[in-house]
Chains A and B, each alone.
Chain A
Amino acid sequence: MKTEKETIQVKEQANGFETVTGAEALLRCLVEEGVDTIFGYPGGAIMPVYDRLLDYKGKLNHILTRHEQGAAHAAQAYAMVTGKPGVCFATSGPGATNLITGIANAYLDSVPVVFITAQVVSNLIGTDAFQETDILGVSMPVVKWNAQVKKSQDIPETIAKAFFIAKTGRPGPVVIDITKDAQYEKLDFKYTKCNYIRSYNPHIPLHTRAIESAAIMINHAEKPLILAGHGVLISGAENELLKFAEKTGIPVALTLLGLSAFPTGHRLYTGYLGMHGNYGPNFLTNEADLIIAIGMRFDDRVTGNLKKYAKNARIIHIEIDEAEINKNVIVDLEINNDAKEVLDNLIPLVQKKSYEKWLREFRICDKTEYEKVIRSETKPEKGKLKMGEVVRLVSELTRGDAIVVTDVGQNQMTVARYYSFSNPNSLVTSGGMGTMGFGLPASIGAKIGKPDKQVVAFLGDGGFQMTIQELGTILHYRIPVKIIILNNGFLGMVRQWQDMFYSKRHASTELVNPDFVTIAKGYRIPAKIVSERKELKDSLVEMLETEGPYLLDIKIDKEANVLPMIEPGASVSEMTLTYK
């Protein structure tokens, strides 16, 4: 008589299966998908998975954050800098609901993250059991796809689908909710990667006629302008964009999430689009006779008043997500496909040209912007420290080579305006959601994703305190991120709006802050206050040269505003350069 174990082994050899628990199967699936890092936080319902995780040291590196929201943002940043899907674990109930902000953030910014949430034992679902939340229902409006697994044998197929869906087409977050019994029950494990789902085809056939039409429109344009977005980076089309722009001679503007898709120093680069973007590309959008929008979605922060947006231009929209085409702006030619594939096919069809006269119009705008805004922001000789000069100095000291992470608000807009990016995917920021508290945990994910890169986080004093607990994660793993707090003692962007549109009534925007240096010391992170211009450069150099994490609390002019600005309801061509 064979023992039961021997019988199982014989069966396994015959079928190529191995009998394992659901928890073990999940971790094997992740290894098969090339995952090496997981951000997460344990709890009751996910304990079987964490128990198995102990045996995966060296294969699956788990980063314990101090809050699930931190894990979600870190996983997103990891995905943004590596191009691989991020992975995030949380337990049922509050663990899962704490992820929601991070899930929504990844959804709006099209970042592939696979969220694994645990669920109560399947026979308790629907009974309001302890730590039971309907996370499928709660997350539904902010995921690309979600599914619940109640039987261990469904784990491999569901995880395979999750990775395929998260990273293909327009990427996005996926939530897989696994009941506790599915984690401890056994299954015959075999993993097959997914690359086919009947109802989902991310590989859209190329529409060659549309590309030919685009080439004709481009070759006949007199004032063409390229608006490039995050889609260029996701598609890996930076070189194609560069080639396309250089061949056609067409000026390029980038959206916030498109920053770093085109070299900041290039002569065809005209700046960054949006409410606080550069004057030239915003103002001249309404002068252009042809707009070539690539991998961007005409967000309201980019278009300003839609009724007065790009009325002189015909618009070509190259976009992988069909639902984004004609959503905000009605376009003349739609090319529903991947940016890289379209540009590859378009480049041979366009003529070599240059638009020196048109480019001069941008230079004139640049000069105006420099005189009215940039000079005083980046090279002030007296007065309080400005955010712009700090960012510009860090940009110079790191030669534009760092991965820059921001929080949300004035700090973010200033980084977008004044950091000179030289490498693709080197800005990690929360675009569509504008999630305060994103910066600190995102810097952790970015550094773990790209350990060889200098990672600098620019945070406001408000956003920093929204996820300040992640200093614990930095302490725990000695994550060498450089944290710069642009500290103006205010929720600066809201305060700026109060000054401009609410009669300077500062309702709940002034902050009473703790001593951040003392707090950093508690987490054994070296820290320093900078309040004088003369000590700024040396302090930044010291921060960048120190091994390990470092925090600089930089005291900024309390009531400075980010300019220029397209005021709410205004057109892009009505961008204001001076604060009235």
Chain B
Amino acid sequence: MNKQEFTISLFTEDHIGILSQITIILTRRQINIESITASESAVKGVQMLTLVVRTTAEMVQKVARQMQKLVDVLKVFVHTSDEIVYQELALYKVKTTGLMSGNMIDHIVRDHNALILEVSPEYMVIEKTGHKTQINELLHVLEPCGVLQFVRSGRVAITRQVKELNAYLDEMDEANQYKPDNIDTIN
């Protein structure tokens, strides 16, 4: 079966070690993480992880079910790239002298929609937001100018589906026969 790119979005409780538990599942199946982003989600106390992996459709379902099984994982979503809106961010540190020739700055800003964050006699820092291919294209353009440093972020993604996390959390609570107010206190 063909491997393709999947974005796994996980909403988890803020439990120490949860990232390890998730990566162990991928490690066991010899799946490399292409990119990873972790942050607090829009719901307070809920962490969000976005992983990009390359694997088969069958395997991604298996690992997603194993992730969903983890006690501290609230919800796992698996998406192909066309089901999400996503961005990555890159920073480039380039020799200033290299950028001064011709209309390079103009080309970078207008054609690549990049920003210039800092200028010094020695180097400039350029920021580019986009898909991996676009970030790589700009890197290719800048390489002859002398790239001193290049860093790329993990993917951040938003799903196209209408139902939001809060609705899932409510549903999960609805399905749980034990509500917090039903907890009986001993002593």
- Whether both chains belong to one complex is answered with yes
Which of these, B24, B28, B186, contacts A192 with CB under 8 Å? B186
A positions within 8 Å CB-CB of B:
16, 32, 136-137, 140-141, 144-148, 165, 190-201, 203-205, 321-323, 325-327
How far, in whole Å, are A137 and B21 apart by their CA atoms in the complex?
9
Q: A144-B71, A145-B71 are in contact. Are A192 and B183 (CB under 8 A)?
A: yes
The verdict on A322 contacting B69 (CB below 8 Å), with A137-B20, A196-B178, A196-B179 known, is: yes
Describe A's contact surface by its main secondary structure.
Answer: loop
Contacts of B28 in A (CB 8 A): 141
Q: How many whole Å from A555's CB to the nearest CB in chain B?
A: 43
How many chain B residues touch A (Cβ–Cβ < 8 Å)? 34
The 8 A CB mask of B165-187 against A (1 = contact, 0 = none) is 00001001101111110111111
Interface 0/1 of B10-41, CB less than 8 Å to A: 00110111001100100010000000000000
Q: Hey, which chain B residues are within 8 Å of A147, CB to CB? A: 15-16
Q: Note all chain A residues with C-beta closer than 8 A to B169.
A: 198
Is there contact, CB below 8 Å, between B176 and A201?
Answer: yes
Contacts of A327 in B (CB 8 A): 62, 65
Task: Check B62 against A196 for contact (C-beta < 8 Å).
Answer: no
Find out whether the CB atom of B62 lies under 8 angstroms from the CB atom of A323: yes
Q: How far is the CB of B55 from chain A (nearest CB, A)?
A: 15
Most buried by B among A198, A205, A326: A198
Q: Which of chain B's residues 134-170 have a Cβ closer than 8 Å to chain A?
A: 169
**A140-B21, A140-B24, A196-B176 provided; 15 other pairs, C-beta below 8 A?**
A141-B28, A146-B17, A147-B15, A190-B187, A193-B183, A195-B182, A195-B183, A196-B178, A198-B169, A199-B13, A199-B72, A203-B177, A203-B178, A205-B175, A323-B62
Across the interface, do B176 and A323 meet the contact criterion of CB distance under 8 Å? Answer: no
Residues of A within 8 A of B73 (CB): 199
Q: In the complex, A327→B183 CA distance in Å?
A: 35
Instruction: Decide if A192 touches B17 in the complex (CB within 8 Å).
Output: no
A507 to B173, CA, bound (A): 58
Q: Is the CB of B185 within 8 A of A326?
A: no
By beta carbon, the residue of chain B nearest A32 is B186
Of the candidates B17, B175, B180, the one whose C-beta lies within 8 Å of that of A201 is B175
B100 to chain A, nearest CB (A): 49
Once bound together, how far apart are the Cα atoms of A325 and B58, in whole Å?
12
User: B68 within 8 Å of A by Cβ?
Assistant: yes
Task: Please report the C-alpha to C-alpha distance between residue A209 and residue B173 in the assembled complex, in whole angstroms.
Answer: 22
How far apart are A11's CB and chain B's nearest CB, in angstroms? 16
Q: A327 — nearest CB in chain B belongs to which residue?
A: B62
Query: How many Å from the CB of A206 to the closest CB on chain B?
Result: 11
| Complex interface residues of chain B between 92 and 139 (CB less than 8 A to chain A) | none
Q: Give CA–CA (A321, B69) in the complex, Å.
A: 8
B173 to chain A, nearest CB (A): 7
Given known contacts A141-B24, A322-B65, A323-B66, A191 and B71 CB-to-CB distance under 8 angstroms: no
User: Cα distance A122–B132 when bound, in Å?
Assistant: 43
Shortest CB–CB separation between residue A404 and chain B, in angstroms? 32
B15 proximity list for chain A (CB < 8 A): 147
Q: Is the Cβ of A191 less than 8 Å from the Cβ of B187?
A: yes
Rounded to whole Å, the gap between the CB of A135 and the closest CB of chain B is 11
A115 to chain B, nearest CB (A): 15
Considering the chains assembled together, what is the distance between the CA atoms of A32 and B185 in angstroms?
A: 11
The one of B62, B173, B178 that contacts A326, using a Cβ cutoff of 8 Å: B62
Known contacts A141-B28, A196-B179; A326/B17 CB under 8 A:
no
For A191, the chain B residues whose CB sits under 8 A away are 186-187
Q: Give CA–CA (A195, B15) in the complex, Å.
A: 18
In the assembly, what is the distance between CA of A323 and CA of B24, in Å?
15
Separation of A141 and B70 alpha carbons in the complex (Å): 11
The 8 A-B pairs of least Cβ separation, nearest first, read A323-B65, A196-B178, A145-B71, A195-B178, A199-B74, A201-B176, A323-B66, A323-B69
How far is B176's CA from A200's CA once the two chains are assembled, in angstroms?
9
Residues of B within 8 A of A144 (CB): 71
Residues in A neighbouring B178, C-beta threshold 8 A: 195-196, 203
Cβ-closest chain A residue relative to B64 = A323
Contact across chains for B17 and A165 when beta carbons are under 8 A apart: no
User: Is residue B61 contacting chain A, with contact meaning CB distance below 8 A?
Assistant: yes
Task: List chain B residues, Cβ under 8 A from A192.
Answer: 183, 185-186
B47 to chain A, nearest CB (A): 11
> Are the C-beta atoms of A326 and B61 separated by less than 8 Å?
yes
Nearest A residue to B177, CB-CB: A203
A194→B182 CA distance, assembly (Å): 11
For the complex formed, measure the closest distance between the CB of A422 and the CB atoms of chain B, giving whole angstroms.
35
Which of B68, B69, B183 is the one whose CB lies under 8 Å from A196?
B183
By a CB distance below 8 angstroms, the chain B residues around A32 are 186
Closest chain A residue, CB of each to CB of B74: A199
Residue of B nearest to A141 (CB): B24
- Give the CA-CA distance A204 to B68 in the complex, in Å: 14
Residues of B contacting A200 with CB < 8 Å?
A: 71-72
* CA distance in complex: A9, B173 (Å): 39
Q: Can you list 25 residue pairs at the A/B interface with Cβ under 8 Å?
A: A16-B187, A136-B16, A136-B17, A137-B20, A140-B17, A140-B24, A145-B71, A148-B16, A165-B71, A191-B187, A192-B183, A195-B183, A196-B176, A196-B178, A196-B182, A198-B13, A198-B169, A201-B172, A201-B176, A203-B177, A205-B175, A322-B65, A323-B69, A326-B61, A327-B65
CB distance from B135 to the nearest CB of A (A): 34
Most buried by A among B12, B13, B178: B178
With beta carbons under 8 angstroms apart, the residue of B68, B179, B182, B187 that contacts A323 is: B68
Which residues of B sit under 8 angstroms from A199, Cβ to Cβ?
12-13, 71-74
State the CA gap A146–B18 with chains docked (Å).
Answer: 10
**What's the minimum C-beta distance from A407 to chain B, rounded to whole angstroms?**
27
Give the residues in chain B near A141, CB-CB below 8 Å: 24, 28
Contact A322:B186 (CB < 8 A) given known A196-B180, A327-B62? no
Question: Which residues does chain A contribute within 8 Å of B13, judged by CB atoms?
Answer: 198-199
Which residues of B sit under 8 angstroms from A140, Cβ to Cβ? Answer: 17, 20-21, 24
How far is A154 from B20 in the complex, measured between Cα atoms in Å? 22
Instruction: Report the separation of the CA atoms of residues A314 and B69 in the bound assembly, to the nearest whole angstrom.
Output: 26
A198 B172 Cβ-Cβ under 8 A? yes
Q: Contacts of B61 on A, CB cut-off 8 Å? A: 326
Q: Which residues of A contact B68 (CB under 8 A)?
A: 322-323
Q: How many whole Å from A529's CB to the nearest CB in chain B?
A: 46
What's the Cα separation between A260 and B81 when bound, in Å? 49
User: Which A residues are CB-close (under 8 A) to B12?
Assistant: 199
A465 to B140, CA, bound (A): 65
1/0 per residue B41-78: CB within 8 Å of A?
A: 00000000000000000000110011011011110000
List residues of chain A with CB within 8 A of the CB of B65: 322-323, 325, 327
Task: With both chains docked as a complex, state the minimum distance between the C-beta of B85 and any C-beta of chain A, in angstroms.
Answer: 26
Contact B187 A197 (CB under 8 A): no
Bound state CA distance, A179 and B93, in angstroms? 46
User: A203 with B69: in contact, given A32-B186, A191-B187, A326-B61 (CB under 8 Å)?
Assistant: no
